[in-house]
Chains A and B, each alone.
Chain A
Amino acid sequence: DTAVSQTPKYLVTQMGNDKSIKCEQNLGHDTMYWYKQDSKKFLKIMFSYNNKELIINETVPNRFSPKSPDKAHLNLHINSLELGDSAVYFCASSPSGGGEGAKNIQYFGAGTRLSVL
């Protein structure tokens, strides 16, 4: 069973379109994240939710809107896609509390490669 799964794996779309990426984790974790990895492999955090509440919101255009219907899901909706949005988007999750939670060990999905034409 895949621990953190993202769909779709590949997404090719035209500039100006709206698209969503879904993420689900079956690890029972409380915290979920979205990261963007650009073509140079630089990994930057975008958002983080803990128990459906937004806790990290980096400087991301408001065209990006995360939604967490429950603590096992964190979806990312992107409006009016631009060429610069082309990247690999990673979802991750981590437990909270003590033990592994205190260490903030993150479990990553396989990524969604978004190409905006």
Chain B
Amino acid sequence: GEDVEQSLFLSVREGDSSVINCTYTDSSSTYLYWYKQEPGAGLQLLTYIFSNMDMKQDQRLTVLLNKKDKHLSLRIADTQTGDSAIYFCAENPSGGYQKVTFGIGTKLQVIP
């Protein structure tokens, strides 16, 4: 079955790095995603990683995937107040338009 777990809350100081962690259960997951939700808005894709990759970097964002432990993390370097939002980890077991399972979301609070 699919289950995606995340911690609920993370607080960091502006300029520090943030690391948001996620664990998932479906070992056949093809794609894993990080979505960002700002207050009053819908989710927006931040980045994704294909299951045959260990790491993906995109400007201030670094995604690490440990398939053995089914652990995904998102590191945000030089965190800014505009990064304050809820971050959702999600998995897609088979790719294509099949069901994507979302975690409960981690609320990131950036303290100026």
Whole-angstrom distance from the CB of B98 to the nearest CB of chain A?
A: 7
Residues 59-117 of A contacting B (Cβ, < 8 Å): 90, 92, 94, 96, 101-111
Taking a contact as CB atoms under 8 Å apart, the answer to whether B86 and A105 are in contact is no
Count residues of B near A (Cβ-Cβ below 8 Å).
24
Dominant secondary structure at the B interface: strand
A41 partner residues in chain B, CB cutoff 8 A? 37, 86, 104-105, 107
User: In this complex, which of B102, B104, B105 has the most chain A Cβ atoms within 10 angstroms of its Cβ?
Assistant: B102
Against A, the Cβ 8 Å flags (1 = close, 0 = not) of B42-75 are 1111001010000000000000000000000000
Distance between Cα atoms of A42 and B6 in the complex (Å)? 11
Nearest CB in chain A: distance from B85 CB, A: 11
Q: A41-B86, A41-B105, A43-B88 are in contact. Are A104 and B42 (CB under 8 A)?
A: no
A30 to B10, CA, bound (A): 36
Q: Is the CB of A105 within 8 A of B42?
A: no
B45 to chain A minimum Cβ distance, whole angstroms, is 5
Cα-based distance from A106 to B92 in the complex (angstroms): 11
| In the complex, per-residue mask of B15-44: 1 if CB is within 8 Å of any chain A CB, else 0 | 000000000000000010100010011111
- Of residues 1 to 33 in A, which have CB atoms within 8 Å of B's CB atoms? 4, 30-31
Q: A43-B102, A103-B48 are in contact. Are A55 and B97 (CB under 8 A)?
A: yes
Q: Considering only CB atoms, which chain B residue lies closest to A104 in the complex?
A: B92
| Of the residues B41, B45, B95, B99, contact of A48 by C-beta under 8 Å | B99
Known: A108-B42, A110-B41. A45 touches B100 (CB 8 A): yes
* B45 & A106 in contact (Cβ 8 Å cutoff): yes
A98 closest partner in B (C-beta): B96
Measuring CB to CB, which residues of chain B are less than 8 angstroms from any residue of chain A? 31, 33, 37, 40-45, 48, 50, 86, 88, 92, 95-100, 102, 104-105, 107
**Additional pairs, 5, CB under 8 Å, beyond known A31-B97, A94-B97:** A43-B102, A45-B100, A56-B99, A108-B42, A110-B41
